[in-house]
Chains A and B, each alone.
Chain A
Amino acid sequence: MQRFLDPEVLAGISSLDLLAKTVVDGFVAGLHRSPDFGFSQEFAEYRAYTPGDDLRHVDWNLFARTERCYLKRYRGETNSQLTILLDASNSMQYTSGPPPKMDYARYIAASLFYLAIRNQRDAAGLIVFDDEVREYIRPSTRPGQLARLFAGLEHAEPRARTDFAKPLRHFQNFLHRRGIAIVISDFYESPEIIVNTIAPLRFHGNEVVLFHILDPQEIRPVIKSSSLLVDLETDQRIEVVPDYVKTTYRAKVDAHIEELRSRTLAAGMDYQLLVTNQSLDTALREYLTLRQAGN
């Protein structure tokens, strides 16, 4: 079943619904039984009440015995909210071989939605953005939500440039409940700006994950001779020599990735580099780990 997580295999599946089902079922079937992961109604833990917590979850029996207010938590009952911010700028359509970065991002998003709604019964929402918010689907668990999300992903064609500031502001306006926010992008921007723009999402108690999507050729490009390169977003052209690509470029990309990772982790967020020739289970495992961690 593992081969169904291979992006090249998935590129042959046109329906996102079928693709997500294939990925998630394959992923779940491959999991070993673990005390960390389960979907029963078993008791999980007590957690001290904090102002703002729903009083319905207060264990009143315990309060009667101890006069302390605790919330009772069960495994699998801890409904969470997943919001994916998908970068649909022009740079996401780059590919050196199937699938393009945009498709790879769609596969991840679709698989996460499927896993969240069908398996975890979590609410899931989508924000598609480039230099502005192009589509917003409010997180919900209503019937048909999964179909709406898939449709939103289908319509998310790359265009324009990336600008994190505007869509994140928009996102904060609608964010009233804690959950997991996953930003999927190639992050062609200064790490400092990226982190400074995204970090406010945590203020509401959200877990924020940055899925950094890159093509293998963007990390280790190969050119045999002097070439003319065109920026997909700005249409700017420059001539590049092979020596530069072999040395300086690789160092710059590595430094960018490392800086983004370190800054992200320092800001209390998670970072995951996803190369388009990798299987999708890394992203799914990351989601489940975060959900298990405290949401």
Chain B
Amino acid sequence: MGLLAPWFLGGLAALGVPVFVHLLRRHISIPRPVGSLMFFERGTQSSTRHRRLRYLLLFALRFALILLVILAFANPFIRRLNTASNARMLLIVVDNSFSMRVGTRFADARRLALATLAAKPRAQKAQIVVLGGQLETLTQPIDDDAQLRAALQSIQPGDGHANFGELGRYMRTLSESVRSPIDLHLFSDMQRSAMPENFADMVMPANVKLVLHSVAPSAVPPNWTIESVSAPAELSDPKDPKRSHVEAIVAGFGTPATAKTVSLVINGKVTASHKVNIPANGSAAVNFAPLNVGYGFNRCQVRIEGGDAFPADDASVFTVRRSDPERVLFVHNANDTRSPLYFGAALDAAAHASFVLQSVAAEQSTDLDPSNFAFVVLSDVPSLPSIFEHALSTYVAGGGNVLIALGTNSARNPSIPLWGGNSHDVHDYTRTGNPASIGQVDFTYPPLQQDQPGRDNGGWGDVKVLYAVPVDPGQARVAARLNDGTPLLLEKQIAEGRILLFTSGLGNLTNDLPLHPVFVAFVDHIARYLSGSDRLSGSRLVDSFVQLRSATASQAAAGAVEVIDPDGRRPLSLSEARTAQSIRLQRAGFYQIHFADGRDAVIGVNPDRRESNLQPIPPDLLTLWTGSSAAPGGQSSGFAPGASKFRNISLWWYVMLLAMVAALAQTAVASGYMGTQREEP
């Protein structure tokens, strides 16, 4: 038994208050009148010893209340021996991110983790967690050393990007369920790029003692890497100088100025090599053109020859699919020539895919089969021939995609073909003379995707919309809105297919979007999105997801998908292959995917290039991080099993509970004493 804040006992002087109120103060209470003092003589008690306390129960309750409050502030505690069941939990976190492949970092981390586990008391519970692209718990808190050791030994170096903010969030969640103190031992190369943007994200909760085990050498080795590769995912003509080329950026971290040989490897054969001068700690671009690839999927790689301290990041893989140009059906009003012109020009200008636009008037679409086209565009068509509309419905249900653009003709026919809704009104901003602008853009939506949109709303902020048709979004996803809240771009999933609705036109009569550069990127993205080619080839980052089937597709109608990872294994089980809607690309290399709709894809997967920067977190930041936990840690590599033989159990809560009871009883008793005495009638 002890007190955590004994200086609060000075407050015991306040106990004199009830004594004064009940004993001393009563002495000067209300004087009693008498007719005459003729027969009285003065008599004073020599001490308070002879005086009687009145309201003894009230006095006792008040005394107890003050005593308990003071005691609560002094924070009494009792010491209990740490038993095995309530001892500190040991949490071993091993970083297996891509940068741990450098040298012997991962092996060192695992060896240190095993040593820490061996030093643990037998009864202490421990948990093994892997910090890679995602945080994975390999075990529950258990005291089975064999199982814990096996879990540690099963950890392999990964290709993901570690984030200490993720660790901080996990610990905050864990501390809500685990009340006992936690000793967190982190085995990592303490890469600076693993820090979150906000330091507060990685701060540990109060009951966590963080012990860091850095496995990075003090000297940072120079490292060159392929920072990025820009190559067409689809290519129809290798001799097309506009598209048939590859541009790679080679960057160095902590490197001197040097010359490096960079090669382009296609299907295992080096097709071109260039020598490039890379400045110190700088980057340089390398171009390979033309891109001579055969029909089908071509597994390509840009790599730096010669090697360095981190050879795993010297290559970047991607896939180029060569095919004949795909046709796009553009159905428009007979007298509308502007929208096919603008849309076709933007489609031609797009660099990443090759499409041929086939524009027809709505009246001539009767005999067309939509399944022969990559996707279909309906531009300001208030009505369609019924045969063609039925064919389009079937096409969408089978997985086809349609872009519907509304225009001035929508005012004549409020029904929107295929979409299933009506337009009740039109917004003609020319009447007010104040055109609308695009106020809200969802840049996570694939057709509008931009990594870092600028202040002009990614180029959309300058677009003026003169005419728009307000549509009730219902269940549809709204990707962009005008500044008055009118939805501009909506997507609705129907069976296997998608319908995109652009509530303004694709010509320059209803808006000036076609006159802005963002229109080309928009058309390019939307063409790739609707044709599905963006998920068939190209490159992705580790830990990104690929959608295998739509969420609304029925499992009975959909077939199984097949995924083969870079190691040639199938990561999905048979049941997962029939039900999984997406897959996370965990490994670097080429993934082969056979989708449920029968299409094949080969995707190159590269690690996050932030892992190539091996610069560690400065020591002062590490000190700040460990100091943010409850107990001051330090970069000690040893484990102190006897550090907390006893633990203090605070009685604050119980004492305050008693004080509250005393306060309530005091109130009840005092109100009984002090209540107004009513005269009996």
Contact = CB atoms under 8 A, between A and B. Distances in A.
Interface stretch (A26-34, A46-54, A220-228): A220-228
Interface in B106-125: none
A66 interface: no
Contact of A215 (B35, B42, B50, B52): B35
Interface of A: 91-92, 94, 101, 186, 188, 215, 218, 221, 223, 225-234, 236-241, 243-245, 248-249, 252-253, 256
Contact of A238 (B29, B40, B50, B51): B40
A229 B34 CA distance: 6
Contacts of A253: 39
B43 A239 contact: yes
A238 B42 contact: yes
A232 B52 contact: no
Most chain A beta-carbon contacts within 10 A, residue among B39, B43, B51:
B39
B218 interface: no
A56 to B, nearest CB: 48
B44 interface: yes
B198 to A, nearest CB: 70
Given A91-B36, A252-B39, 17 more contacts: A92-B35, A215-B35, A221-B34, A223-B32, A225-B52, A226-B44, A229-B31, A229-B32, A229-B37, A230-B32, A230-B33, A234-B37, A237-B31, A238-B42, A239-B44, A244-B40, A253-B39
B45 interface: yes
6 contacts: A218-B34, A221-B34, A232-B34, A238-B40, A239-B44, A240-B40
Contacts of A225: 51-52
Interface in B27-62: 27-29, 31-45, 50-52
Contact of B39 (A230, A236, A241, A256): A256
Interface residues on B, range: 20 to 34
B35 A240 contact: no
Contacts of B38: 188, 256
Interface string B239-251: 0000000000000
Contacts of B50: 226
Given A225-B51, A226-B27, A228-B28, A240 B36 contact: no
Contacts of A218: 34-35
A228 B32 contact: yes
Which 6 pairs between the two chains have the least Cβ-Cβ distance? A94-B35, A188-B36, A241-B43, A91-B35, A252-B39, A231-B37
B29 to A, nearest CB: 8
B427 to A, nearest CB: 89
Contacts of A229: 31-34, 37, 40
Contacts of A215: 35
A33 B28 CA distance: 58
B31 A240 contact: no
Contacts of B31: 227-230, 237
Contacts of A92: 35
Nearest to B38: A188
Contacts of B27: 226
A101 B35 contact: yes
Contacts of B36: 91, 186, 188, 231-233
A108 B649 CA distance: 79
B21 to A, nearest CB: 16
A240 B43 contact: yes
Most chain B beta-carbon contacts within 10 A, residue among A234, A238, A253:
A238
Nearest to B26: A225
B35 A186 contact: yes
A64 to B, nearest CB: 61
A161 to B, nearest CB: 10
Contact of B42 (A231, A234, A240): A240
Contacts of B33: 94, 229-230, 232
A36 B37 CA distance: 43
Given A91-B35, A101-B35, A248 B41 contact: yes
Contacts of B52: 225
A260 to B, nearest CB: 12
B39 A249 contact: yes
Contacts of A221: 34
Contacts of A245: 40
B34 A239 contact: no
A239 B42 contact: yes
A226 B45 contact: yes
Nearest to A245: B40
A181 to B, nearest CB: 23
B41 A244 contact: yes
A212 to B, nearest CB: 12
Interface in B358-405: none
Contacts of B29: 228
A92 to B, nearest CB: 8
Contacts of A101: 35
Most chain A beta-carbon contacts within 10 A, residue among B28, B31, B37:
B37
Contacts of B43: 226, 239-241, 243-244
Contacts of A94: 33-35
Most chain A beta-carbon contacts within 10 A, residue among B33, B36, B40, B45:
B36
Contact of B40 (A232, A233, A243, A249): A249
